[in-house]
Amino acid sequence: MTEITEKKTPLVTFPLDEMVKLVKSFTSQKLASLLDVTDLKADTQEPKILKMAEWAKSLNCASVCVNPVDGSDILPLALKGSKVKECYVIDFPLGKLDIEMKSVQTSYVVKKSRELRGEGKGKMELDMVINVGRFKKDPNYALEEINAVCEAADGEPVKVIVRSSELTVKEIYTVSEIVARSKAAFIKNSTGMDAYGALPEHMKIMREVVGNKIGVKSSGGVSDAATAMRLIYASARDESLQKPELFRIGTSSPLNIVSTFGWLAKAPEHWLGAGIIPCKICPFYHNTKLRVELREEANSWCRQCIHNHYLVNKDF
């Protein structure tokens, strides 16, 4: 075996002084304004959706995100008169409908929401899932289906879920470029049901590619303020990006994020200085959950990482 002499550094590190400065620049209200309150489980029912709507209104969150089958009869009325937007997933979670069916679903959801809420345009958003298999074969297909959904959305913002846990690093760059060229308003990493969710490394790549042209949404496993702030540091560090039009976090735990921010803000040096295990927030640490064709890329990166002693010594 060839000896590895050059070690790779993770794309994202979290210098304590910079993280403390970021936390001190935030308030719980500002953080809440970036949240999409989300529940996309198969057993979600009306009482939970109504509770989510109340959370979002009381915290002034950006939106409430649900499956349209569960929520399109409920949310328009529950959020009527508030600034909180409805958010519905399209072709969720697999993204395997053809372009025509994606467009039909989008048009139906938009029309129904507007009729029930009665407040015109600009009160809803749509999170669509691309067909990852077709993208791998023909990247231009992704651009075609994204633009078709955007047309069917009739001006309502579309966020594009790219399922980054199923993509190589090169493919994440490619799909980010495609979304940036499309009519979409956001790129989003995950359905929250993929092999893993929001990881700083992937979010940094997406922001690096799309710049400030469109927004970046982190989703999957974000349940506390420290995790949220690391994702903000990775993909919305510049203050100009820290607004709902350019950055979001999808979470089923909005109350916990806001409450833990209170602790974080009081003693950021303590909570952030405790440190994190780099492997836990690295996409390549999740290699056992990946398809075989993605696993070798992950293993190769881990072997060359400056932090691989954590894995070798089983320090966590």
Q: What is the pLDDT of residues 49-68, one digit of tens each?
A: 999 999 999 999 999 999 99
pLDDT tens, position by position, 96-136: 999 999 999 999 999 999 999 999 999 999 999 999 999 99
Task: Examine the residue annotation and report whether 188 is marked as an active-site residue of this protein.
Answer: yes
Task: Examine the residue annotation and report whether 280 is marked as an active-site residue of this protein.
Answer: no
State residue 306's pLDDT score. 81
For the packed helices 139-152 and 99-117, what is the interaxial angle rounded to 10 degrees?
30
- Choose among 171, 182, 228: nearest CA to 205: 171
Please classify residue 137 by burial: count the beta carbons closer than 10 Å to its beta carbon, then call 0-12 exposed, 13-18 middle and 19+ buried: exposed
Which one of 127, 159, 194, 224 is the catalytic residue? 127
Q: What is the amino acid identity at position 71?
A: G
Under 8 Å between Cβ of 236 and 272: no
Identify any residues that bridge with 186 across adjacent strands, giving them in sequence order. 159, 215
Residue 95's domain is classified under what CATH number? Answer: 3.20.20.70
State residue 7's pLDDT score. 54
Listed as ranges, residues in the chain with pLDDT below 70 are: 1-11, 275, 311-316
**Which range marks the domain in which residue 123 is found?**
16-269
State residue 1's pLDDT score. 30
Structural domain includes residue 291: no
State residue 305's pLDDT score. 83
Enter the tokens of residue 195: 């092999």
What is the torsion angle, in degrees rounded to the nearest 10, for the CA atoms of residue 277, residue 279, residue 281 and residue 282?
Answer: 160
Structural domain includes residue 195: yes
What is the torsion angle, in degrees rounded to the nearest 10, for the CA atoms of residue 293, residue 207, residue 148 and residue 169?
Answer: -10
Structural domain includes residue 297: no
State residue 316's pLDDT score. 46
- Choose among 34, 29, 10: nearest CA to 217: 34
CA distance 266 to 65: 30
Which one of 188, 194, 204, 224 is the catalytic residue? 188
Structural domain includes residue 219: yes
Task: Examine the residue annotation and report whether 17 is marked as an active-site residue of this protein.
Answer: no
- Choose among 135, 145, 119: nearest CA to 170: 135
- pTM > 0.85: yes
State residue 226's pLDDT score. 94
Structural domain includes residue 3: no
Structural domain includes residue 240: yes
Structural domain includes residue 64: yes
Structural domain includes residue 7: no
State residue 2's pLDDT score. 34
State residue 301's pLDDT score. 79
Enter the tokens of residue 145: 């289906």
Helix (H) or strand (E) holding 181: helix 169-181
**Number of folded domains that form the chain:** 1
Which one of 39, 85, 217, 224 is the catalytic residue? 217
